[in-house]
Structure 1
Amino acid sequence: MPLSNQSVPPCAVVISSCDAYSDLWPYFFHFFFKHWPTAPTPVYLIANERTYGDPRVKTINVGPDQQWGSNTRLAISQIDEELVVLLLDDFFFDAPFPTETFRQTLEQFTTAKGRLLELRLHGEAGEAVHGTGFRRADPQNLCAGINSNLWRRDLLLEIAEPGLNIWQCESLVRKKLREGEKNFFFMDQQAPKQISFVEGVRGRFWKPEGLAYMRKNGIEPDLGWRPCPPQGNSFFAKLIRSWQKRGMDRRRAAMVTPSSLEILPLASLES
């Protein structure tokens, strides 16, 4: 059931993804439900053609990829909840989600008429928002992004412009701040932490810290499918990454078969 009470509109959790990252879904949802077992369900997953085989997850298939803005707008238009927590699929929860603290955050966000709250960012800059644990973002304090945020659904539809990639949509959030938006918030430095995660993937590859987190939890990803190449900007590191990207592209071009459309959970690791 949606997380709600008499004073707070229903809140949905939406995972922004695509089929090219479907190999991460079992890992993402393993840690998501481990650390937030009371999350409002169904959790919505944005995908192209593939689905995730868990009754707690509702896959919204948007068809062939048309950039982040188009995919997100099409998916969000199918969700009724007024508030949306948007998460990216390659950030893995690594600590219990504070359900009661978040319930209070939702109440404060609603009372303050918030439109965007950056749950992961804490700081002391910006004006304190009376009666809340929030600070107000402003043109001098441009901390306004996409991932791990609480959104008003109508705002998310505004910035998810068709044809724009995720970075271009993120720039529209900052543009709204420069144009005078007053109801974009982030967490005060002293406010309870809302969310904690490990960034597992960057530039299509496993990050060393992401791979270490998997292995710490007894999970060994298929590095033939998504490698963890050398880091840094040396000639050989760049050469290896380029070679591995071409191999990934060849494998992904042939990945969709009738037997591979549904991605299954890590059943052996689920508690």
Structure 2
Amino acid sequence: MPPAASPNTTPPGTDLRVMVASCDAYSDVWQFFFHFLFKFWPDVPTPIYLISNHLTYDDPRVITIKVGEDKSWTDGMARGLRQIPSEYVISFLDDFLLKQPLPLDDIFAVYGELKKRNGNWCNLKPMAPPPEDQPDALIAPLTNIKQSAGFHSGLWRTQYLADLCAQRDMNIWHTEGYIRERINGGQIDGLFYLTRNKPWLVSYVEVIKRFWKKEGIDFLAQHGLKPDLWRRPYPPQGADPFSRFARSILKRYTSWAVARDVKRRLADQDGKVLPLPQDRIPSSAA
């Protein structure tokens, strides 16, 4: 059994929580995401909120918010975010696995500054140097779309992100484009960027792009772990005709395998996705 929920280790007066944006189609990566989250952030403030469709991640430190049918990424996000009782969240995507410990003092410093300035968002990946008139600034208001970032890691005001997602039905990539359009049109809306131009807050590896990526396979292998390649294959990666044909065939297979796996879990496992069994985790990776 996983350990009981750890105490909230954020600074006094802080209600900051972690939100993981997901859906049932990516439930095969939940075991790995949470394994590395707890490995590199053992005192992560709990509960953690996981947005899904019908499946549940079976860990006492995680509250799964089930939003039902997958109508669109923004629809699920809007409904899920409105069930998170914290003013701000740190957002993560489940296919971006942490690969080193997080500098918590720095993250909480960014959070404190964002809240003090009544901000709605700040990325946790450095994007640009500080403004010339504020050389010591930790964060600064966005001035152009090049300072924007995606949803893989960022601090969001929960209600702002929920309202933003409720405006239209979009997938995640269109949502990122929509935010850039708003920024380009002068709708800054309390959006900030991190001015420390070095990778000192969040370091991760993107492991999936429909299929398992080589980076994901290699990263798990470094930690003595293996994904279920029957559930989500690792096809040839080349640009040659055979590789492209193999990927096109496996797209159909993956859609079928995902639907079968979700249906099986709902029928046989009460919709639960279990953490990695301890016997699958080498002692060096624990």
Instruction: Name the TM-score, length of structure 2 as normaliser.
Output: 0.86
C-alpha contact 2:128 2:147 (8 A) present in aligned 1: no
Q: How does 1:128-147 map to 2 (within 5 A)?
A: 132-139=137-144, 141-147=146-152
Give the direction of change, closer, same or farther, for the CA distance of 1:189–1:99 in structure 2 (3 Å limit): closer
Q: How does 1:174-253 map to 2 (within 5 A)?
A: 174-180=180-186, 181=188, 183-190=190-197, 193-202=200-209, 204-253=210-259
C-alpha contact 1:84 1:152 (8 A) present in aligned 2: yes
1:151 is aligned to 156
Question: 123-132 or 43-52, which moves further after superposition?
Answer: 123-132
2:4 is aligned to none
C-alpha contact 1:142 1:174 (8 A) present in aligned 2: no
Q: Does 1:103 align with 2:112?
A: no
C-alpha contact 1:144 1:184 (8 A) present in aligned 2: no
SS of equivalent residue, structure 1 residue 40: coil
Displacement after TM superposition at 1:167 (Å)? 1.8
Displacement after TM superposition at 1:122 (Å)? 3.6
C-alpha contact 2:127 2:148 (8 A) present in aligned 1: no
Q: How does 1:84-123 map to 2 (within 5 A)?
A: 84-123=89-128
Q: Does 1:34 align with 2:62?
A: no
Letter in 1 for 2:204: F
Q: Deviations over 1:88-112 (max 9, x none)?
A: 1100000001122212221111122
C-alpha contact 1:128 1:188 (8 A) present in aligned 2: no
Give the direction of change, closer, same or farther, for the CA distance of 1:192–1:236 in structure 2 (3 Å limit): closer
User: Following the alignment from structure 1 to structure 2, what is the Cα–Cα distance between the partners of residues 3 and 74?
Assistant: 27
Gapped regions of structure 2 (runs ≥ 5) = 1-6
2:66 is aligned to 61
Displacement after TM superposition at 1:129 (Å)? 5.7
Question: 258-267 or 216-225, which moves further after superposition?
Answer: 258-267
Percent identity reads 34
Displacement after TM superposition at 1:233 (Å)? 2.7
SS of equivalent residue, structure 1 residue 120: coil
User: Following the alignment from structure 1 to structure 2, what is the Cα–Cα distance between the partners of residues 129 and 81?
Assistant: 30
Question: 161-170 or 99-108, which moves further after superposition?
Answer: 161-170
Question: 17-26 or 108-117, which moves further after superposition?
Answer: 108-117
Q: Does 1:169 align with 2:175?
A: yes
Q: RMSD between aligned alpha carbons?
A: 2.2
Displacement after TM superposition at 1:267 (Å)? 2.9
Give the direction of change, closer, same or farther, for the CA distance of 1:129–1:175 in structure 2 (3 Å limit): farther
Instruction: Name the TM-score, length of structure 1 as normaliser.
Output: 0.91
User: Following the alignment from structure 2 to structure 1, what is the Cα–Cα distance between the partners of residues 134 and 59?
Assistant: 39
Q: Does 1:19 align with 2:28?
A: no
Candidates 268, 271, 278, aligned match of 1:259:
268
Q: Deviations over 1:60-115 (max 9, x none)?
A: 00111111000000000111111011111100000001122212221111122221
Give the direction of change, closer, same or farther, for the CA distance of 1:53–1:129 in structure 2 (3 Å limit): farther
Displacement after TM superposition at 1:191 (Å)? 6.3
The structure carrying a bigger strand percent of its residues is 1
Give the direction of change, closer, same or farther, for the CA distance of 1:38–1:125 in structure 2 (3 Å limit): same
Letter in 2 for 1:93: L
User: Following the alignment from structure 1 to structure 2, what is the Cα–Cα distance between the partners of residues 133 and 5?
Assistant: 18
